[in-house]
């Protein structure tokens, strides 16, 4: 059985062993938790067999499905989860592309840290994308903060019992423009996370119990989601994941 060690280097160059994990993703998640929670940066790294562990869209889908089940048990709000996700993304913000293991770790880390406090300035800030498509961490941040601001608005104008059929974010006068469409279907972390991967990457199976395949045409099998390899992911990919989490059914 493989194990992965989280290591730390202090200011004098001395290396210390901190914890051992039986999952590379959980080890990477602990590094993100520690790096996002301190002002003074020390060097952390994971020692052990190299990745990837998450190799396919199916692997990532199952990881998100499990995280959603954990979040449901912990009764987290979606706003709290997204604010924690924004917080733990900071150590990766200078990167152009991420390994799927790092993406999985970032979402896992978000389930374990206290969320960032809501900043009222997000509601009035111009969060629109500078270009036609998201590029880099700053644009992914605009997408995430747009969703967080919408969820804050929903506190004062609740979506009501028919929210799962689709509602428009209230976006009251005086709020800043946002990077995301106003339509919302998913308001809890479990549904958001499942739809995020199912809509952007696929990888689901009817046996998972979370999604029913659409019927095919006459004489055709039901539509299914095919498993495919994923190697690297960009912040634009993560922005699409976030939008699918909000809007995919």
Residues 13-20, mean pLDDT to the nearest whole number: 90
The pLDDT assigned to 70 comes to: 92
Is the confidence at residue 214, as pLDDT, over 90?
Answer: no
pLDDT of residue 75: 87
Query: Which residue would you say has higher pLDDT here, 50 or 85?
Result: 85
- Would the pLDDT of 135 be above 70? yes
CB atoms within 10 A of CB 168: 12
Which residues, in sequence order, are bridge partners of residue 17? Answer: 7
C-alpha to C-alpha distance for 230 and 39, rounded to whole angstroms: 33
Predicted pLDDT at 162: 82
152-193 pLDDT, tens digit each: 999 999 988 888 899 999 999 999 999 999 999 999 999 999
| Res. 219 pLDDT band, cuts 50 70 90 | low
Residues 90-94, mean pLDDT to the nearest whole number: 95
Question: Is it the case that residue 220 has pLDDT exceeding 70?
Answer: no
pLDDT of the residue at 12: 79
Give the per-residue pLDDT at 74.
Answer: 86
Per-residue pLDDT at 4 exceeds 70: yes
pTM (2 decimals)? 0.93
CA distances from 249 to 191, 202, 224 (A): 9, 13, 15
Q: Is the pLDDT of residue 29 over 90?
A: yes
| Mean pLDDT across the chain | 93
Which band of pLDDT confidence, cut at 50, 70 and 90, is reported for residue 216?
A: low
Segment 195-205 shows an average pLDDT of 96
Q: Which residues pair with 229 in a beta bridge?
A: 56
Torsion angle, CA of 221/225/227/232, rounded to 10 degrees?
A: 160
pLDDT in tens, 37-80: 766 567 899 999 988 999 999 999 999 999 999 998 888 899 99
d(CA 113, CA 158): 26
């Amino acid at each position: 059985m493989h194990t992965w060690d989280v290591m730390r280097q202090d200011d004098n160059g001395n290396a210390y062993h901190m914890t051992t994990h039986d999952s590379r993703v959980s080890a990477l998640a602990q590094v993100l938790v520690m790096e996002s929670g301190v002002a003074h940066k020390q060097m952390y790294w994971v020692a052990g067999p190299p990745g990837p562990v998450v190799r396919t869209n199916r692997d990532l889908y199952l990881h998100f499905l499990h995280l959603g089940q954990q979040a449901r048990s912990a009764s987290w709000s979606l706003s709290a989860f997204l604010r924690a996700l924004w917080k733990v993304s900071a150590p990766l913000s200078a990167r152009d592309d991420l390994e799927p293991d790092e993406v999985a770790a970032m979402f896992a880390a978000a389930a374990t840290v206290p969320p960032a406090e809501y900043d009222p300035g997000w509601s009035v800030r111009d969060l629109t994308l500078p270009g036609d498509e998201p590029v880099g961490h700053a644009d992914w941040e605009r997408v995430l903060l747009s969703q967080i601001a919408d969820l804050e608005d929903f506190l004062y104008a609740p979506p009501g019992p028919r929210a799962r059929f689709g509602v428009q974010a209230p976006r009251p006068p005086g709020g800043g423009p946002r990077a995301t469409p106003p339509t919302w279907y998913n308001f809890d972390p479990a549904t958001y996370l499942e739809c995020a991967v199912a809509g952007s990457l696929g990888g689901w199976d009817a046996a998972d119990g979370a999604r029913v395949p659409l019927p095919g045409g006459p004489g055709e099998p039901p539509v299914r989601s095919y498993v495919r390899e994923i190697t690297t992911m960009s912040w634009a990919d993560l922005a699409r994941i976030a939008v699918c989490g909000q809007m995919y059914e």
